[in-house]
Amino acid sequence: MKSSSIKSLLEEATLHQELTVSGWVRTFRSNRFIALNDGSTLQNLQCVVDFEKMDPEVLRKINTGAALRVVGEVVPSQGRGQKIELQVSSLQVLGEANPEQYPIQPKKHSMEFLREQAHLRVRTNTFSAVMRVRSALAFAVHQYFTSEGFYYFHAPIITGSDAEGAGEMFRVSVLDPKSPPLTPEGTVDFKEDFFGKETNLTVSGQLEAEAYAMGLGKVYTFGPTFRAENSNTSRHLAEFWMIEPEMAFYDLDANMDLAEDFIQQVIRYILEHCQEDLEFLEKRLLDEEKSKPQTERSDMPLMEKLRFVTDQPFKRVSYTEAIDILKNSKPNKKKKFQYPIEGWGTDLQSEHERYLVEKHFKCPVILFNYPAEIKAFYMRLNEDGKTVRAMDILFPGIGEIVGGSQREERLDVLTDKMKALGIDEKELWWYLDLRRFGTAVHSGFGLGFERLVQFATGMGNIRDVIPFPRTPQNAEF
Ligand code: ATP
Ligand code: MN
């Protein structure tokens, strides 16, 4: 009963072989030509039926979306568009799809409509191509780190420390929200909760990865992370997958070298292995661009954009230099930025990041040495006493794709910083232990996997590169 995949059939079937194929009907023309797709490839297999010999009841059930199993002979195709086709000798309708009800008809559907049909949208060319590229990228991530001597580290999903994500975490609790146990002061008594303390879903596996890097040397996480930030943008999800390498004995320069090489290698991998899907996505993007005003169009086709990233070094610029460039930029002088650049010390907004990448440098940019005030407590303080060894990688169309740093390895500097920020040392006793026992220079970064998939596929909205997106007010499916 094993069927051949359409991908392998199209690549290696010999003529006049008899094969069984299963898939879903994309279209059925002239009561004769079935375009069958099984998800193994973008291409459909043309299956030709002889309607005069077929039971009209069965024929009636061959509609877009129906699942079929067909047996037939591989023959040269008469029609254009394909070299071979299947001359069907027997056909079984496994599952019907009533055309009055099945939402995914062979016509152009909007992305918004397809988001409401997230359980069916993978049966379209666009979403199947995106998800195949996503899968290939995930494989390339593991392949890259494994070949570079990293160990795959599973960070906990439920965390007891809220040092990093104050305010934007999802609480994990089994307490009854209607009548939670209360302390004598009248606040919720989390001692009675499942873990005996407040717990949340993780916003990052970094702190735990640091512990493992200081023993395994080089580790990386690749798992789900959660942020309860109410930012309804095309680049933010409430649940997303993050890749976080953490390396003992790496300084900031080594960290930047690794991040750049890593991104270039995984993009090269899909250029090599996902050509057909990328070509399709490139055409899709060109069509979409045509409907945009001239000024908003991207001037580069998708694959050119990917090669643009793999074929040249990223531009490395300090935060201070970037502020100078932005302060003197045309949009800043003409007051075109929504957030004007006042001076040194402010955080960059996505409009500034995109100006640097898309207009000024016209290549991926690594910004480093940010003001300490706008970055997390664990980043290593520079000798100037006011900047930290942070780095962000900025990409065209996306903005920030990577955020990373060299970590503060000096116990006294770290505890001073935590005191100043009001972070409880008792909460992070184990994190401080890493500085008490065998501390060493170390670094790491976080890359949002969906932002990488967005860049690689040219999809405009991050909700369209993850199977079932979680965003504010939306957790259907
Ligand atoms: P942003 O400023 O874009 O919100 P961030 O500074 O909060 O990003 P980090 O905390 O440094 O991001 O997280 C590391 C990486 O994770 C980011 O560079 C980005 O690629 C990704 N990322 C962060 N937040 C989200 C989100 N809500 N949805 C998807 N990816 C995200
Ligand atoms: Mn954020």
pLDDT digits (tens, 9 = 90+) for 265-295: 999 999 999 999 999 999 999 998 888 777 6
In this structure, the answer to whether residues 71 and 212 fall within a common structural domain is no
Find the 462 Cα to ligand 2 centroid distance in Å.
14
Q: Which atom of ligand 1 is found nearest the CA of 445?
A: 14
Find the 125 Cα to ligand 1 centroid distance in Å.
28
Closest residue by Cα to atom 12, ligand 1, is 403
Closest residue by Cα to atom 31, ligand 1, is 448
- Residue 205 CB–ligand 1 contact under 6 Å: no
Amino acid letter, 136: A
Residues of the chain under the 70 pLDDT cut: 1, 162-167, 295
Find the 243 Cα to ligand 2 centroid distance in Å.
15
- Give the model's pLDDT for residue 203: 94
Find the 239 Cα to ligand 1 centroid distance in Å.
11
Tokens standing for 374?
A: 């706008």
Could you list the residue range(s) of the whole structural domain that residue 295 is in? 123-168+203-464
Q: Which atom of ligand 1 is found nearest the CA of 242?
A: 16
Q: How do residues 106-147 score in pLDDT, each as one tens digit?
A: 999 999 999 999 999 999 999 999 999 999 999 999 999 999
Find the 285 Cα to ligand 1 centroid distance in Å.
24
Q: Which atom of ligand 1 is found nearest the CA of 452?
A: 20
Pairing of strands 171-172, 158-159: unpaired
Find the 273 Cα to ligand 2 centroid distance in Å.
32
Count of CA atoms in the C-beta half-sphere (13 A) of 151:
13
Smallest-distance ligand from the CA of 243: 1
CA–CA distances in Å: residue 377 to residues 213, 348, 380: 19, 18, 8
Query: Which residues, in sequence order, are CB contacts of 181 under 8 Å at separation 6+?
Result: 175, 188, 189, 192
In this structure, the answer to whether residues 348 and 444 fall within a common structural domain is yes
Out of 169, 225, 242, 378, give the residue to mutate to test ligand 1, the one with the largest number of ligand atoms within 8 Å of its CB. Answer: 242
Find the 264 Cα to ligand 2 centroid distance in Å.
24
In this structure, the answer to whether residues 223 and 296 fall within a common structural domain is yes
Q: Residue 144's domain is classified under what CATH number?
A: 3.30.930.10
Cα angle for residues 75, 78, 83 (degrees, 5° grid): 60
- Residue 402 CB–ligand 1 contact under 6 Å: yes
In this structure, the answer to whether residues 128 and 60 fall within a common structural domain is no
- Residue 354 CB–ligand 1 contact under 6 Å: no
Smallest-distance ligand from the CA of 224: 1
Q: How many domains does the chain have?
A: 2
Q: In angstroms, rounded to a whole number, what is the distance separating the alpha carbons of residues 232 and 234?
A: 7
In this structure, the answer to whether residues 130 and 62 fall within a common structural domain is no
- Residue 400 CB–ligand 1 contact under 6 Å: yes
In this structure, the answer to whether residues 309 and 408 fall within a common structural domain is yes
- Residue 446 CB–ligand 1 contact under 6 Å: yes
Amino acid letter, 329: S
In this structure, the answer to whether residues 23 and 149 fall within a common structural domain is no
In this structure, the answer to whether residues 131 and 21 fall within a common structural domain is no
In this structure, the answer to whether residues 143 and 49 fall within a common structural domain is no
Smallest-distance ligand from the CA of 202: 1
Q: Which atom of ligand 1 is found nearest the CA of 404?
A: 11
Q: In angstroms, rounded to a whole number, what is the distance separating the alpha carbons of residues 38 and 139?
A: 21
Tokens standing for 238?
A: 């409430």
Find the 448 Cα to ligand 1 centroid distance in Å.
6
In this structure, the answer to whether residues 396 and 247 fall within a common structural domain is yes
In a domain, 116, yes or no: no
- Give the model's pLDDT for residue 149: 98
In this structure, the answer to whether residues 434 and 398 fall within a common structural domain is yes
Smallest-distance ligand from the CA of 453: 1
Find the 165 Cα to ligand 2 centroid distance in Å.
10
CA–CA distances in Å: residue 453 to residues 112, 137, 461: 19, 8, 11
In this structure, the answer to whether residues 448 and 388 fall within a common structural domain is yes
